Structure 1
């Protein structure tokens, strides 16, 4: 890469002008782009949160990047933000072997392991909730459980409660109305919808009911069981009113 171009790219990077970096490199005919220019483009795509595109670009120079800790770092960074945590750990562990002084790689490894642990705990909660409801465990739980289906209520030993929804089984048609904006109906989209509902329909529960979704699951939780139950009933009722839920969804923000 020419020194003047490299200097300009670094200046843009320092000024967070990532679009300018991407546009300038894309002006170079593809056959003329060297390893450094492609690497800078991948970094810019990551900073623009275009992680899928960054992965695809980085994989085109897999052989050249095999021994480059920066290549593995950028690929791991993309995987982490795509919530592909196992792949992220793999890449950051390679970074650690190639460059043991890179403390950020160790940080991302720890964060990825924490995310995997949370996902496993939520899946366990979902299985437990389904089992309890199918076996009618708990006095007085069944009527409430029926009322909020397909949401599942989970009681925890620490006194907290959760309400969980497995994604892809309910109200997909609502999210499809804004698919062109990037909504997919995943757990984060449900979290955005629930946040609008809570703010507009149950503001008294803000700060009491919290959300912790992931891609494959919506999750709301609280240490106030009655508050969470009230939220669950109200949110389910809103979901069953097509006009209401579509109106609320019109103001949801893409996460």
Structure 2
């Protein structure tokens, strides 16, 4: 996960899809670990754990990459802190997918 300044005062949070420690688990659970899936992860985490971030950045994923952008670097740092643990912790990812699906959330992957 990288946080970069793309233009003066404009920041992007990037995650290359297919590079996390939980990709195989995501596939076993019936999802494709692409940029759109990671957007769903971010949306679910924001809605359940950090609602104060809602609407403070924009999503712009692609098949091979998750991307969120904002003029507020701090907001993207907070988003990175939410997502990063899920990229490395299989139990956390399994719980997230199970909880999301139980609540009716659908990943767009």
TM over 0.5, shorter chain = yes
Where 2:61 maps in the other structure, the secondary structure is coil
Deviations 1:135-158 (A, max 9, x none): xxxxxxxxxxxxxxxx01111224
Runs of 4+ in 1 over 3 A off after TM superposition: 238-241
On the 8 A contact 1:189/1:254 being kept in 2, the answer is yes
Instruction: Please tell me whether residue 203 in structure 1 is matched to residue 51 in structure 2.
Output: yes
CA distance 1:254–1:231, change in 2 (3 Å)? closer
Instruction: Look up the match of 2:24.
Output: 173
Structure 1 gaps of 5+ residues are 1-150
Richer in helix (by share):
1
Task: Report matched runs for 1:101-250 at 5 Å.
Answer: 151-170=1-20, 171-179=22-30, 183-250=31-98
Instruction: Look up the match of 1:253.
Output: 106
Alpha-carbon deviation of 1:178?
2.6
C-alpha RMSD over aligned residues: 1.7
Alpha-carbon deviation of 1:224?
1.0
Indicate the structure whose relative CO is greater, using CA pairs within 8 Å and at least 6 residues apart. Answer: 2
Q: TM-score, normalised to structure 1's length?
A: 0.37
CA distance 1:219–1:230, change in 2 (3 Å)? same
Structure 2 gaps of 5+ residues are none
On the 8 A contact 2:41/2:83 being kept in 1, the answer is no
Count matched residues: 102
Richer in strand (by share):
2
- Cα separation, 2, equivalents of 1:213 and 1:230: 18
Deviations 1:143-184 (A, max 9, x none): xxxxxxxx01111224121111111111212311332xxx21
Deviations 1:88-135 (A, max 9, x none): xxxxxxxxxxxxxxxxxxxxxxxxxxxxxxxxxxxxxxxxxxxxxxxx
Q: TM-score, normalised to structure 2's length?
A: 0.81
Specify the structure having the higher radius of gyration (Cα). 1
Where 1:246 maps in the other structure, the secondary structure is helix
